[in-house]
């Protein structure tokens, strides 16, 4: 199965995911990102102010570093 890296774009900075997740496909990668965003939003006492997260987005890449998905936090319902 392919490996997907959930990097986080924080304005000018790209926070790299050094480990990645092994998932069946892109759809599962999108699901994981969406579940993660909802969880982060649900627990601000742990993850910090939702406003801070809302200015970030996920850049999901494969092992070669190619961007496969860009998902803004604020776009996840």
Residues found near other proteins in the complex (CB under 8 A): 6, 8, 10, 15-19, 21, 36, 39-40, 45-48, 58
Pair 43, 51: CB distance under 8 Å: no
Our CB check for other proteins shows the closer of 36 and 74 to be 36
Three-point CA angle 72, 38, 22, nearest 5° = 80
The beta-strand segments (E) located in the chain are 3-10, 13-15, 21-22, 56-61, 67-72
Instruction: State the minimum distance, in angstroms, from the CB of residue 7 to other proteins.
Output: 8
């Amino acid at each position: 199965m392919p490996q997907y890296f959930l990097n986080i774009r924080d304005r000018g900075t790209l926070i790299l995911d050094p480990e990645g997740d092994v998932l069946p496909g892109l759809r599962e990668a999108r699901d994981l990102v969406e579940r993660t965003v909802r969880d982060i939003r649900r627990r601000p006492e742990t993850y910090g102010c939702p406003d801070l997260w809302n200015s970030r987005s996920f850049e999901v890449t494969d092992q070669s570093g190619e961007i496969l998905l860009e998902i803004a936090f604020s776009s996840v319902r």
